[in-house]
Amino acid sequence: MQVEFHQLSLRYEALRIAEPARQARMTASIAEAGQHTPVLMVALRSRVTRLEALLAGILSYSRAGRVVDAPEEIDLGALVKDVADMHVPGSFTVEIGELPVLASSRTSLEQIFGNLFSNAVRHHDRGRGVITVSAQERGAFYEFTVQDDGPGIPPEFQDKVFEMFQTLKPRDAAEGSGLGMAIIKKLIEWQGGRIWVESSSNVRGTAIHFLWPREFKTEKSACAFIKP
């Protein structure tokens, strides 16, 4: 993975460096090429931006569960509020229930909740909404639930959202890399937990549930799946 990422990074850097010169050439030929040239330039910049996001996502995926900060005591209520402030716009309301205090990896939990919040906002079909966060004890785990009031996820896509490079929008309309859910699935399973989707085609909203250990493991453990 590291070698592949390095190769992709070199190709991206070459494209990024060459892009201004390519843009200048395209601008100079507007008269010859006609009105479609500005559209092509926008498309090129968009693809470079998506490639940059893809490379960052691949690097994050390769590091998930491998580059870990030392566990520390974390007030999940405060952490979730801080993450929501960074990822959720003011037109959305975030309702946070009673969340535990536990010793765990701050970076991993910030990444998990950040991705879940970003997805809830990105795939919402209205300009405003409500996201709720709750937790309950499940044996050696806490079960966390992030619920939104968006359009929901059709049953045929509920497992696919955790696959690499999967998005629920057309590729040209997608803002992310398609790796966010795959990254958090890898982080959660590395800690012996699991993640799953609950969404009905007849009712609005999606609930993402995941199990996170009450006792953080600093080494890779066997997955102890608990059925929902």
Q: What is the pLDDT of residue 228?
A: 40
* pLDDT confidence band for 18 (50 / 70 / 90): low
Domains contained in the chain, number: 2
Structural domain for 88, as ranges: 72-213
| pLDDT (average), residues 167-194 | 73
Strands 72-75 and 101-104: antiparallel
Report the phi/psi class of residue 155: left, alpha or beta, with left for phi > 0 and alpha for psi in -120 to 50: alpha
CA-based nearest residue to 152, from 191, 125, 182, 176? 125
One domain for residues 108 and 199 = yes
For residue 217 the two structure tokens come to 């493991």
Q: What is the pLDDT of residue 150?
A: 94
**Residue 120 falls within a domain, yes or no?**
yes
One domain for residues 203 and 110 = yes
One domain for residues 48 and 104 = no
Domain final residue, candidates 39, 63, 87: 63
* pTM score: 0.68
**Residue 227 falls within a domain, yes or no?**
no
Q: Does 23 or 133 have the greater pLDDT score?
A: 133
One domain for residues 129 and 149 = yes
The string of pLDDT tens digits covering residues 79-118 is 999 999 999 999 999 999 999 999 998 988 999 999 999 9
**Residue 224 falls within a domain, yes or no?**
no
Asked whether the predicted pLDDT for residue 156 surpasses 70, the reply is: yes
Give the CATH number, domain containing residue 141. Answer: 3.30.565.10
Asked whether the predicted pLDDT for residue 3 surpasses 50, the reply is: no
Domain final residue, candidates 45, 63, 81: 63
* pLDDT confidence band for 78 (50 / 70 / 90): very high
Q: How far apart are CA 44 and CA 37, in angstroms?
A: 11
Mean residue pLDDT across the chain: 75
